Amino acid sequence: MDGTKEMGGLRNVSSVCSISEMDDFDLSRLLNKPKLNIERQRSFDERSLSELSIGLARGLDTYETTYSPGGRSGFGTPASSTRNSFEPHPMVADAWEALRRSTVYFRGQPVGTIAAYDHASEEVLNYDQVFVRDFVPSALAFLMNGEPDIVKHFLLKTLYLQGWEKRVDRFKLGDGVMPASFKVLHDPIRKTDSLVADFGESAIGRVAPVDSGFWWIILLRAYTKSTGDLSLAETPECQKGMRLILTLCLSEGFDTFPTLLCADGCSMIDRRMGIYGYPIEIQALFFMALRSASSMLKHDEEGKEFIERIVKRLHALSYHMRSYFWLDFQQLNDIYRYKTEEYSHTAVNKFNVIPDSIPDWVFDFMPTRGGYFIGNVSPARMDFRWFALGNCIAILSSLATHEQAMAIMDLIEARWEELVGEMPLKIAYPAIESHEWRIVTGCDPKNTRWSYHNGGSWPVLLWLLTAACIKTGRPQIARKAIDLAETRLLKDSWPEYYDGKIGRYIGKQARKYQTWSIAGYLVAKMMLEDPSHLGMISLEEDRQMKPMLKRSSSWTC
């Protein structure tokens, strides 16, 4: 009923809307679908007003006006599947039900979703907590469905937790650190709710989550873009929260690189996996968070100072990443022929990478067309592994130039069997085995070859792949990946990850009803149905950060 009514209303506005949307992304063209089908229910007047307020109020992302107003849903109905003419897949309703079941309440307000709702599993560990990174796809699903309240409450709750004093033994952590996860404790007798949070002091390995603060900023922008509500980001509390996070990562020290030095296990890959140093996942999120923050920080005295520092850092960071992390056939061939032990400013092989350290697999893996940002670059060490999240975020944040973004998609297509296989998407490729596994993971039985973080396949990554596909104009790749996921995910009860070279087996210790597997699927579906949602999680290329023309030369800028 609702759907029919909405469709009727939509027809009246669609022709007007499509003209205004042509200016930015003509995304409907990418989908080969008539624009009529992807319109939403808000009136044109409301839309343009909100767009104007976003665009003009403080120049929030001047380059993009793609606006995803979301709808209302209220009664547990996925608005996205009722308000357009696509046949909703039967899995969508199940996914919404499972997602809603995972909602966590604090004093009656929804504040997040638990990591996994797996009753069959005897070992709960910390999967009954709200993880900041895990909540991101849930949040996007709710925003896309016109339910921003839970996202707002989550942003405020985590901001409040940031204010806690954080200690590991006798050592105090930086003020800006955001929690990896939090839990709501219900006292049934006193009828009170209280919060406990983990900033790394309880986490296995005792590592603070570097990604949490970045995701928080990125989500604040997504909320702002999606709702058109600038007032949250503009509160003194949110402004301060952003500044505290930025203080942690913009401080000057002994660094010679603009990238962020990290401990192993500080991100989604939260166990020892040889990602210490300058992991691509963190660098890409760092870049995206800096750009997001600069669009939301007020131009008052304090804000201005941070914006200036951000601009400088982005300039150096994009240069460094695009030059030294980028690998394609040509670059690989150049490194293969590198001379070593070069001293002074004329050095071509600046980090003294020894060509013998290039692993054999990368020569076969590298297609003639295509490329990617490698896992890590530091003195005499290049980690050539492919990491999905970092590369997708590089596309979404426009850390990747247009050419690089296209090349990443070319690589995914050329290496489909390896990177997608039977279940999207490999978190990292390839797996590390035998002696190397012993040394790199410290004999971690959870991270054996082709399992978990070590070459496992994570359905949550589907939303990132889909967003990257839409941004690069290749929705058919996303559709293929979603089709694959649909053959298994529900039947297998939404596993956390799959194992094996092509991801055929449910992961050894994978949770079932893993919330971000569920939410990731929903976000992927909704974005493909209505590509204008992409605007909340994507940033257009900043014309001031000119793409590099040359690589691997000895000049410095």
Q: Does 272 bind ligand GLC (CB under 6 A)?
A: no
The least CB distance from residue 268 to ligand GLC, in Å, is: 4
The least CB distance from residue 342 to ligand GLC, in Å, is: 39
By the 8 A CB rule, do 511 and 531 touch? no
Per CB under 6 A, the segment of 128-136, 351-359, 528-536, 542-550 that binds ligand GLC is 128-136
Q: How many residues touch ligand GLC (CB under 6 A)?
A: 6
The least CB distance from residue 267 to ligand GLC, in Å, is: 7
CA 43 to chain centre: 31
3-state SS, residue 316? helix
The least CB distance from residue 115 to ligand GLC, in Å, is: 4
CA distance 154 to 149: 8
The least CB distance from residue 270 to ligand GLC, in Å, is: 5
Structure tokens at 272: 């020892």
Would you report the helix, strand and coil content of the chain in percent, each value rounded to 5? 50, 10, 40
Binding mask 89-118 for ligand GLC (x = CB under 6 A): --------------------------x---
Query: Which CB, 133 or 243, lies closer to ligand GLC?
Result: 133
Query: Which CB, 432 or 528, lies closer to ligand GLC?
Result: 432
CA distance 47 to 68: 9
The least CB distance from residue 121 to ligand GLC, in Å, is: 12
Q: Does 405 bind ligand GLC (CB under 6 A)?
A: no
Among 61, 64, 134, 499, the residue binding ligand GLC under the rule CB under 6 A is 134
Strand order through the sheet with 181-187: 130-131, 181-187, 192-198
Can you state the angle between helices 210-227 and 149-162, rounded to 10 degrees?
Answer: 150
> What does the chain come to in residues?
557
Residue least distant from ligand GLC (Cβ): 115
Cβ-based burial of 236 (10 A; exposed 0-12, middle 13-18, buried ≥19): exposed
Per CB under 6 A, the segment of 126-134, 161-169, 221-229, 406-414 that binds ligand GLC is 126-134
The least CB distance from residue 139 to ligand GLC, in Å, is: 14
Give the largest Cα separation in the chain, rounded: 73
Structure tokens at 4: 């029919």
Per CB under 6 A, the segment of 129-137, 212-220, 377-385, 389-397 that binds ligand GLC is 129-137
CA distance 11 to 540: 30
CA distance 222 to 215: 10
| Cα angle: 233, vertex 294, 219; to 5 degrees | 50
Per CB under 6 A, the segment of 127-135, 136-144, 365-373, 407-415 that binds ligand GLC is 127-135
Among 268, 321, 408, 537, the residue binding ligand GLC under the rule CB under 6 A is 268
Query: Which CB, 151 or 203, lies closer to ligand GLC?
Result: 203
Query: Which CB, 132 or 468, lies closer to ligand GLC?
Result: 132
Per CB under 6 A, the segment of 130-138, 388-396, 420-428, 527-535 that binds ligand GLC is 130-138
Cβ-based burial of 135 (10 A; exposed 0-12, middle 13-18, buried ≥19): buried
HSE of 557, CA atoms in CB hemisphere, 13 A? 16
Q: Does 264 bind ligand GLC (CB under 6 A)?
A: no
Query: Which CB, 138 or 294, lies closer to ligand GLC?
Result: 138
Q: Does 464 bind ligand GLC (CB under 6 A)?
A: no
Query: Which CB, 246 or 392, lies closer to ligand GLC?
Result: 392
Per CB under 6 A, the segment of 94-102, 131-139, 251-259, 517-525 that binds ligand GLC is 131-139
CA distance 135 to 139: 6
Residue whose tokens read 């505290």: 244
Q: Does 131 bind ligand GLC (CB under 6 A)?
A: yes
Q: Does 133 bind ligand GLC (CB under 6 A)?
A: yes
Query: Which CB, 124 or 250, lies closer to ligand GLC?
Result: 124
Q: Does 197 bind ligand GLC (CB under 6 A)?
A: no
The least CB distance from residue 134 to ligand GLC, in Å, is: 5
The least CB distance from residue 459 to ligand GLC, in Å, is: 12
CA distance 140 to 117: 19
Query: Which CB, 82 or 509, lies closer to ligand GLC?
Result: 509
Structure tokens at 173: 């952590």
Query: Which CB, 126 or 552, lies closer to ligand GLC?
Result: 126
The least CB distance from residue 212 to ligand GLC, in Å, is: 10
CA 266 to chain centre: 15
Q: Does 285 bind ligand GLC (CB under 6 A)?
A: no
Query: Which CB, 65 or 129, lies closer to ligand GLC?
Result: 129
3-state SS, residue 39? coil
By the 8 A CB rule, do 468 and 396 touch? yes
| Torsion sign (Cα): 441, 447, 448, 454 | negative
Q: Does 499 bind ligand GLC (CB under 6 A)?
A: no
CA distance 158 to 454: 30
Cβ-based burial of 334 (10 A; exposed 0-12, middle 13-18, buried ≥19): middle
CA distance 11 to 446: 53
Q: Does 282 bind ligand GLC (CB under 6 A)?
A: no
Query: Which CB, 198 or 410, lies closer to ligand GLC?
Result: 198
User: From residue 282, how far is each of 254, 339, 472 by CA, in Å?
Assistant: 19, 30, 22
Among 6, 64, 118, 270, the residue binding ligand GLC under the rule CB under 6 A is 270
Positions that interact with ligand GLC (CB under 6 A): 115, 131, 133-134, 268, 270
